[in-house]
Amino acid sequence: MPSLFEESIDITGLRFYTLKQEDGKYLSFAYNEHKIIDAIKSAGITFNQVLSIHFAQIEFEELVKGKAQTCLKVNNVCLSFIEEKLVQIPVSLRANIDNSFDISNLKLSKEKIYLDSTSKYLDKKHTYTLVGVLLLVTIFTFIKAYSNYSEAFKYSDKKERLITTNNMPSTSIQTNALIKKYKKIKEKQINIRETIEYVLNSRKKIGARVVGFDFNKEKLVVKFKGVEAKKITTYLEKEYTLNKAVVKDGITSVELSL
Amino acid sequence: MIQDLKNFNIKRVNPLVVLFVIFVLMLISFIFLKKSKIELNNSAYNYTQFQEVSKNYSVLKKNWGDSKTAEKKLDKLIKSSGIKNIDVTKKNKSQVIKFEYKQLNLVDQFINKVLNENLQIKKLLIDEKKVELEIRY
């Protein structure tokens, strides 16, 4: 229907309402929404009080049937139907004025329009397009956030699986305590092996021969032969503190703590 | 109230209000997304840290805290040592190995292998005739 008006009037800023009366016959209305809104405002009515807007052409038709040529006075305006069209007649003509008309008794039809209260700069179509875009962004963001939370929650499952697979204690305190214990054992055992290596290297370094070796708990007693005691103790004292050194029958026994 | 509901028509809802509500929802969704990203990063970081701890624990336990593995290693070393008449005594949490030797090279090889394995040496006695070794589990 807009094309119906396009050729004759500038339709920019106008809206249309069309009522089909019978096949091939339509009643169309073109209206300037902002003018209606301005009129409502100037009448001191708040916008929220207005449920809908009806066309007098449609609503008054039933009332004037059989009252042809009668002018209905409504709010100092004289309305009359001439050739099925509602027209205003100047009150000064005073032609068959019917003062009995009461607008409050009017039963409104279903033919109505709703006013668009959006900004003049942002029409309804663009507003809803923008709403649609923002809604899509919001939905996508919520889905992504949910996906992130879901992914984060999966790490808890993975952690539980690691605990089960590696037969770990249920709490991190217990795990850390065991790690500390095992590390201590490892360090001690490495220390024992390094000490044994150092002691056995005495053959290469100072020509001493190890003839006895006794490690028990924290103490190590080594018996050397073939070199004087001073040389042995000097060699060992470079790395360790000696508890005692005894020479008997040409054998030097040295005790050191690990 | 019922009349109000009857009068309510979705077409009368101001699109600007809808736009504003959607905009607020979008802001909330951004905050939600930001928090979820932080949560995800924290979870990923904590999991990586835990993986390290788990790996560390697993290796340490296998090497120094697994009595069955230690027992198997020691049995294998004894069988492959070629030393005869080895006296093996199993205690509660340790195993004592005693033997007398004549071939020093076999003792050397055996002790070297023991020292190269992750076995907890509790006692090691070597003199000119015999060897006594206690391994803790």
Mean pLDDT of chain A: 84
Q: Which of A248, A112, A218 is nearest to B9 (CA)?
A: A112
- What per-residue confidence (pLDDT) applies to A223? 93
A164: amino acid identity, one letter: T
Query: Which B-chain residues 9-68 have CB contacts (< 8 A) with chain A?
Result: 9, 11-12, 14-16, 18-19, 22-23, 25-26, 29-30, 32-33, 35-37, 39-40, 42-44, 46-47, 50-51, 53-54, 56-58, 60-61, 63-65
Query: The pTM is what?
Result: 0.64
Residues of B in contact with A179 (CB under 8 A): 53, 56-57, 60
- What per-residue confidence (pLDDT) applies to A101? 66
- What per-residue confidence (pLDDT) applies to A67? 58
Asked whether the predicted pLDDT for residue B1 surpasses 50, the reply is: no
At A220 the three-state DSSP class reads: strand
Residues A200-215: pLDDT tens digits? 999 888 988 899 989 9
* Dist. CA B45–CA B79, nearest whole Å: 47
Residues A95-147: pLDDT tens digits? 667 666 677 777 888 888 887 666 666 677 788 899 999 999 999 999 999 99
A237: amino acid identity, one letter: E
A116/B36 Cβ within 8 A: no
A204: amino acid identity, one letter: K
Q: Are A202 and A208 in contact (CB under 8 A)?
A: yes
Q: What is the mean pLDDT of the segment spanning A53-81?
A: 74
Residues A132-188: pLDDT tens digits? 999 999 999 999 999 999 999 999 999 999 999 999 998 999 999 999 999 999 999
* Dist. CA B104–CA A182, nearest whole Å: 33
Residues B5-62: pLDDT tens digits? 444 455 556 778 888 999 999 999 999 999 999 999 999 999 999 999 999 999 999 9
Complex ipTM over 0.90: no
Q: What is the mean pLDDT of the segment spanning A20-25?
A: 84
DSSP code of residue A111: -
Query: Which B-chain residues 100-129 have CB contacts (< 8 A) with chain A?
Result: 115, 118-128
